[in-house]
Amino acid sequence: MSAVLSPADWHARAQAHERRADALTADHRARAAAGEKHPVWDFLFTYYSYKPSQLRRWHPGAGVTLQEAPERQGWRWYSAGDAPGDAMPDATVYREDKPELAALVERMLRRTAARPAQFGCFGLHEWAMVYQAEDHRHPAPLRLGQDGTDAVVEAHDLRCTHFDAFRFFTPAAAPRNRDLLSRDTQPHREQPGCLHAGMDLYRWAMKLGPLIPGELLLDTFELARDIRLLDMQAAPYELSAWGVQPVRIETAEGKAEYVRQQRGFAERGAVLRERLLHAWLGTEPV
């Protein structure tokens, strides 16, 4: 039998969710109001183009009935419950409305979960994005200068498996990658050790909308936030002015620290990936 939440229960959960979401986005909202940019944290609201207001909206998850919620009967991907005024997020309605997206999200979650994690990339995707380039993605200077940055790329085997990082490689860097990636092959290449595969759990949770419990959505956002910090600590940029100290992946010690954190994020991501599938489909990954 599907879960049923009383008005007192679901209002309390919604209010707790709003408070948590507000705390997570407070710094970003303050910077946005002041017109300030941040090279690390803006990514969570620009590349992942979801507004703090979207993150703030609580949903109970697929098949969970909200008692006395008539206003939600008109919300996207909600259905009316058995009793007058009840409403619930409906996975069947979602699949009927977004069949291609539903198939993609399930394919990405299941296939990524089924693969062994790889830990040999050392975050070099950001280095490959500025390799032999006059213009860079961020205004911050390069820690090692252009020549030093290029030398690090040339001294390593590029092993990126994430297309949405690979597509930003410079023309000189792309052929150096172990595999030439494409959008079509993305479901076949994504693997759970990749930092961006972990961050993208937030993307998939957002795309599933009300089918994902709000608490789980915020858990995926927190993982994306934590991964983003390591992603930029390992990048070639000098970010100390923003309080970001480098993980120097050009050294043996830096590589070890990167992999240590990468493994931790892969473990957190595996749990969240399983929870997303279970919340949406009621099944475990296979």
In this prediction, residue 283 carries a pLDDT of 56
- Band (pLDDT 50/70/90 cuts) for residue 135 is confident
Whose structure tokens read 């949405």?
A: 164
pLDDT > 70: what percent of the chain?
Answer: 98
First-to-final CA distance of the chain: 24
Q: Is residue 125 within 8 Å of residue 234, measured between CB atoms? A: no
Q: Is residue 170 within 8 Å of residue 128, measured between CB atoms? A: yes
pLDDT > 90: what percent of the chain?
Answer: 93
In this prediction, residue 55 carries a pLDDT of 96
Question: Length of the chain, please?
Answer: 286
In 3D space, the residue among 185, 178, 136 whose CA is nearest the CA of residue 163 turns out to be 185
In 3D space, the residue among 169, 160, 265, 257 whose CA is nearest the CA of residue 220 turns out to be 265
List C-alpha distances in Å: 197 to 13, 16, 56: 28, 28, 23
Q: Is residue 251 within 8 Å of residue 155, measured between CB atoms? A: no
Distance (Å, whole) CA 163 – CA 157:
17
Residues forming a β-bridge with 177? 158
pLDDT in tens, 188-199: 999 999 999 999
Mean predicted confidence (pLDDT) in 164-187: 95
In this prediction, residue 282 carries a pLDDT of 83
Model's pTM, two decimal places?
0.95
Mean predicted confidence (pLDDT) in 138-164: 95
Whose structure tokens read 């280095």?
A: 127
Distance (Å, whole) CA 270 – CA 30:
33
How far is Cα of residue 39 from the mean position of the Cα atoms in its chain?
Answer: 17
Q: Which spans in the chain are helix H?
A: 7-34, 43-46, 52-56, 91-97, 99-114, 125-128, 145-154, 163-166, 186-189, 195-207, 214-233, 252-281
pLDDT in tens, 15-55: 999 999 999 999 999 999 999 999 999 999 999 999 999 99
- Band (pLDDT 50/70/90 cuts) for residue 284 is very low
Bigger pLDDT: 176 vs 81: 176
